[in-house]
Amino acid sequence: MSLKHRLPLVILLCVPAVAAAQETRESSPLPAPPRFEARVDDPMLAPMPPAEAQVGSWDEALGLVRQRSTDLRFAESQVTRARGQWRQALSGLLPNGSISGGVALDLLNPGNPVVSGGGSVGAIAGGGGSITPTTPLGSANASVNLALVDVSAWQGLAAANAAEDAAEASLQDVHRRLTQGLAQALVATVAAERAAELNRVGLRQALERYALATRSLELGASTQLDAVRVAQDVAVAREALVAGDEALRRAREALGIALGQEGPVGVSPDFQLDGLVSATQNQCAPLSALTERRDLVASAKRLEAAERNRAAARAGYLPRLGLQSSAFGLTTRPGPGRILTWNLAAVLTVPIWEGGRREGLVQERQADVEAAEQTYEQARRDLSVEAARSRRGVEVAEDLLRTAVEARELADQTDRLTRRSFEVGRGSSLELVQSGAALRRAELAVALREFELVQARLDAFLTEAKCDW
């Protein structure tokens, strides 16, 4: 066969081979370009400087509260005040004695002995004859009073006793509230420290995305709109960082106030937050019943004190029986002196009319009782709701943490896939920005949920506990 006749046959045989080779080249994927590694450096990525004062343990923090807490000093002063009032109420039922003395001289008649207040004194008969008072004349008077039957005073003592119990219960509740407040301040500070750290991680990731978008723009794989979108995400990350740093400063200031310090106080890196619940359990004990919580006990004692004060006001209409004794003596020649009189008397006092003062006092005490009843009822309701919320709060915090962890894992996976897709030119800048923002929110959510769980466990324990320092 000649060349002229063989050429079409060769062409027909080569066409399928060329087509197959072309189809093979189109179906086989091209190798992906190497991953872009961005290096960023920004002043805002520098970590937040630590506070000048720091606490390293729970015992150290609790010791500062004991030394510097103004709430604790105030509660202790109220206990001292209540004890003083109880002692005053008791004095009305104990013997009251007094001694008075004086020296008198008659300026017109210096030779005549007179008692203080006027009146001359003549010769006094003694065991061996008459005894002459001295000039000037010294005199003394001693008296003793004892309440035998005084219902109003007894009711007043019972009211003072109840008020003292209320003050002591309030002091114990201050211990619990200070413990809870200190734990909350420590957890909030550690959470703010962690949030500030995550904000810097988020800013770094946003800057890396911006570098990736800029590189893609330089290579012509993206548009100016893509770069602007990513730059906007960087600005949002900077805003979150600034807000987080301010929240950290305020958390440190709140911790300083809780510790009685004038400046901000931070938490050292060695602080063990995981052992905070067990540390508080060493200082506090769970209650056997919710009605035993000290603030509710204090409210009940205040109600009892108000009822006793009302009973004391009503008892003011009743008669009072008392015992009085007095002795009078003066200086004589020969000395040193003689007791002229010594008497003992039972005194019955019957109130008749006081111008309505007693009735007004009864009305005032009745109003105090009604106010104390409403305060107690409100405290009981609030405590019931608070206890139910604290018990439910642990389960809610656990559920929120579990869902936050799942959301973070998905957000991290989405961000990695979106970033890789943008690197090879298949993803948009909008997807890149959205995935990055979602990842930052997810990271912060997990950190905050972890601290919320610790706080929920602390609240659940301390809400139904009694703390004695």
User: Residue 33: what pLDDT?
Assistant: 52
CA distances from 221 to 233, 272, 424 (A): 20, 49, 9
Cβ neighbourhood burial of 352 (10 Å; 0-12, 13-18, 19+) = exposed
Q: Does the pLDDT of residue 403 top 90, yes or no?
A: yes
Residue 67 has pLDDT above 80, yes or no: yes
Domains of the chain: 67-467 (1.20.1600.10)
pLDDT tens, 93-126?
999 999 999 998 888 888 777 765 555 555 555 5
CA distance 211 to 226: 12
The average confidence (pLDDT) of the chain is 86
- What is the C-alpha to C-alpha distance for residues 449 and 62, in angstroms, rounded to an integer? 25
215-251 pLDDT, tens digit each: 878 877 777 887 888 888 899 999 999 999 999 999 9
Answer whether residue 23 shows pLDDT above 60: no
Could you list the beta-strand ranges (E) of 67-216.
96-104, 124-126, 129-133, 137-149
Write out pLDDT tens, residues 130-147.
678 888 889 999 999 999
- pLDDT number for residue 15: 43
Closest to 271 measured CA to CA, from 197, 200, 191, 198: 191
What pLDDT is attached to residue 220?
76
The confidence score (pLDDT) of residue 400 equals 95
- Hey, how many other C-beta atoms are within 10 angstroms of the C-beta on 163? 24
Q: Which residues contact 179 (CB under 8 A, 6 or more apart)?
A: 62, 280, 283, 284, 462, 467
Stated pTM of the model = 0.78
Indicate whether 426 pLDDT > 70: yes
Lowest-pLDDT range, 9-18, 374-383, 421-430? 9-18
Q: Smallest Cα–Cα separation from 184: which of 66, 267, 71?
A: 267
Query: Which pLDDT does position 30 carry in this prediction?
Result: 46
What confidence tens digit (pLDDT) does each residue in 261-314 have? 889 999 998 888 878 888 888 889 999 999 999 999 999 999 999 999 999 999
Q: At a CB cut-off of 8 Å and minimum separation 6, what does 19 contact?
A: none
d(CA 213, CA 422): 9
* pLDDT given for residue 118 in this prediction: 53
Quick one: DSSP state of residue 463?
T
C-beta separation of 92 from 153 below 8 A = yes
pLDDT band at 420 (very low <50, low <70, confident <90, very high): confident
Rounded CA separation 257/185 (Å): 9
Per-residue pLDDT of 334-390, as tens digits, reads 778 888 899 999 999 999 988 999 999 999 999 999 999 999 999 999 999 999 999
Residue 21 has pLDDT above 60, yes or no: no
Query: By percentage, how much of the chain surpasses pLDDT 70?
Result: 88
